[in-house]
């Protein structure tokens, strides 16, 4: 079993429903949801939009490999209405699921980077992550999540 932290985001449609549907799908397809953060409202990051985001972080206990988690999360995104990942920058989306951390693994492949390289730069990730795992140690920086939050 492995512990995986996933970041969720949506800025289109019924946002609370989108996050709840994603959490239900994750529990059915990826593993047992141990913890879920509060839903956080945030402004778009990296692009302009009139649509604010709703974000959350969940902790999942899984038997899947990191690449299997990636595949399942992409399938869930599609099943919930996501048409395509942004290639040239960011855009509005019904749902986005990012792998933030997977145990203490460090993976640097073209299709998968763990830990997610922008965890500490995104308040919409670091705030909900620190809510559910303040003492978790980032495997690259060696700092606790709460320390990254208070940067």
Question: How far is the C-alpha of 97 from the C-alpha of 55, rounded, in Å?
Answer: 10
Instruction: Find the domain containing 120 and state its range.
Output: 2-149
Domain count within the chain? 1
- pLDDT tens digits for range 94-117: 999 999 999 999 999 999 999 999
CB-based contact 51:44 (threshold 8 Å)? yes
Q: Give the residue numbers marked as catalytic.
A: 82, 93, 96, 98
Here the CATH number for the domain that contains residue 102 is 3.30.70.560
Question: How far is the C-alpha of 101 from the C-alpha of 95, rounded, in Å?
Answer: 19
Helices (H), the chain: 15-29, 66-79, 123-132, 145-149
Residue 50 CB neighbour total at 10 angstroms: 7
pTM: 0.94
- pLDDT tens digits for range 42-93: 998 776 888 899 999 999 999 999 999 999 999 999 999 877 665 566 677 8
């Amino acid at each position: 079993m492995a512990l995986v932290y996933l970041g969720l985001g949506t800025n289109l449609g019924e946002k609370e429903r989108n996050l709840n549907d994603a959490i239900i799908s994750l529990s059915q397809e990826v593993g047992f949801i141990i913890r879920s953060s509060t839903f956080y409202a945030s402004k778009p990051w990296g692009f302009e939009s009139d649509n604010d985001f709703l974000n959350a972080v969940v902790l999942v206990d899984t038997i899947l490999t990191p690449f299997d988690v990636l595949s399942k999360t992409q399938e869930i995104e599609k099943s919930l209405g996501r048409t395509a990942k942004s290639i040239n920058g960011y855009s509005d989306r019904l749902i986005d699921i990012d792998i933030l951390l997977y145990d203490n693994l460090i993976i640097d492949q073209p299709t998968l980077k763990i830990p997610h390289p922008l965890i500490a730069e995104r308040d919409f990730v670091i705030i909900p992550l620190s809510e559910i795992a303040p003492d978790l140690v980032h495997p690259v920086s060696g700092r606790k999540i709460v320390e990254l939050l208070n940067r």
